[in-house]
Amino acid sequence: MTVLIAGCGDLGTEAGLRFAAAGHEVIGLRRSPEKLPGEIRGVRADLSQEVPALPADAGTVVIALAADASTEEAYRAAYVDGLSHVLDAVDRQAVPPRRILLISSTAVYPDAGGAVVDESTPTKPTRFSGKILLEAEELLFSRAGESQAVVLRLGGIYGPGRTRLIDQVRSGKAVIPSQPKHTNRIHRDDAAAMIVHLATMEQEPDAVYVGVDNESAELGDVLRFLAKELQFPEPPARPASDDGPGDKRCSNQRLLSTGFTFTYPSYKEGYRAILAGEGVRHP
């Protein structure tokens, strides 16, 4: 099978390497294909501007584009225009791909006051990022066949070189929220493994999966854990009035029911591997 990865960055490259190791031909579309490793055939395309040429035998299409900036305009260019151009290219295929997998985000769910959120929870994003990602999901479902379209809503990705919380603890800038505030996280490698799993599993996939690890942890616990691992003092607590956006606990039960298993079931295993220097961030 040929796998096409549109927006082949850190996550897309890790997934591509795994598809290649399993014997698939992998093509990565991006504006700077020269950054891709030899296992992935790079093709230059600016997907927010142009309809790419796809190989005739693309059996799986993965869309893992990310916005260049945290603005409405940049989000729309990547997630809506980019997806739309990939779907235009798919429409020209004589043989349609078996699966089209869109990488989305748990940002499509509103804050839920600490309640559990899963695929059946209504999507009511409050911020522009979630609204535009939801628009992209709806675009996929309206244009791709019911049995083709799969959306993977990832939590916050951490991994090699993606060390925001570690850096906060090291620099003394970390603060522990005064109210319980959950963080729904996924190690980059497990997110990549999910992409391969959902694209290749025998059983007919559902339309949507939540992609987070097994432990929706309190941010304060993650920061305390990192401080301990790094042998730094425990970060101070934040004043109660200054906690920022709310709270939700994402469930990965549907994904687990497909037989997916985690290399890093919680932040503890994942961060220990990062602190031990395992893995690299793909450019």
Give the C-alpha distances (Å, rounded to integers) separating 17 from 9, 13, 37, 47, 58.
12, 6, 8, 22, 16
**Binding flag, residue 279, ligand NAP (CB under 6 A):** no
Residue 162 gets which letter from DSSP? B
Least separation in angstroms between residue 175's CB and ligand NAP is: 20
How many chain residues bind ligand NAP (CB under 6 A)?
24
* Of the residues 46, 111, 221, 269, which one makes contact with ligand NAP according to CB under 6 A: 46
**Binding flag, residue 82, ligand NAP (CB under 6 A):** yes
Least separation in angstroms between residue 45's CB and ligand NAP is: 6
- State how far the Cα of 126 lies from the Cα of 106, in Å rounded to an integer: 12
Residue nearest to ligand NAP (CB): 9
Burial (0-12, 13-18, 19+ Cβ within 10 Å), 46: middle
Instruction: Please state whether beta strands 182-183 and 217-218 pair in parallel, antiparallel, or not at all (unpaired).
Output: antiparallel
Which CB, 71 or 172, lies closer to ligand NAP?
A: 71
* Of the residues 40, 90, 101, 103, which one makes contact with ligand NAP according to CB under 6 A: 103
**Binding flag, residue 250, ligand NAP (CB under 6 A):** no
Beta carbons within 8 Å of 182's beta carbon, 6+ residues apart: 114, 216, 217, 218, 219, 247, 248, 249
Residue 153 contacts residue 206 (beta carbons within 8 Å): no
Beta carbons within 8 Å of 264's beta carbon, 6+ residues apart: 187, 189, 190, 213, 270, 273
Nearest alpha-carbon partner for 195 in 87, 93, 60? 60
* Of the residues 4, 78, 101, 108, which one makes contact with ligand NAP according to CB under 6 A: 78
Least separation in angstroms between residue 151's CB and ligand NAP is: 11
Longest C-alpha distance within the chain, in Å? 61
Which CB, 29 or 198, lies closer to ligand NAP?
A: 29
* Of the residues 26, 83, 154, 222, which one makes contact with ligand NAP according to CB under 6 A: 154
* Of the residues 54, 58, 64, 212, which one makes contact with ligand NAP according to CB under 6 A: 64
**Binding flag, residue 66, ligand NAP (CB under 6 A):** yes
Per CB under 6 A, which of residues 7..36 are in contact with ligand NAP?
7-12, 29-32
Instruction: Classify the phi-psi angles of 167: left when phi > 0, otherwise alpha if psi is within -120 to 50, otherwise beta.
Output: alpha
* Cα R_g (the chain), whole angstroms: 19
Which CB, 141 or 232, lies closer to ligand NAP?
A: 141
Per CB under 6 A, which of residues 192..231 are in contact with ligand NAP?
none
Residues that bind ligand NAP (CB under 6 A): 7-12, 29-32, 45-48, 64-66, 78, 82, 103, 105, 154, 156-157
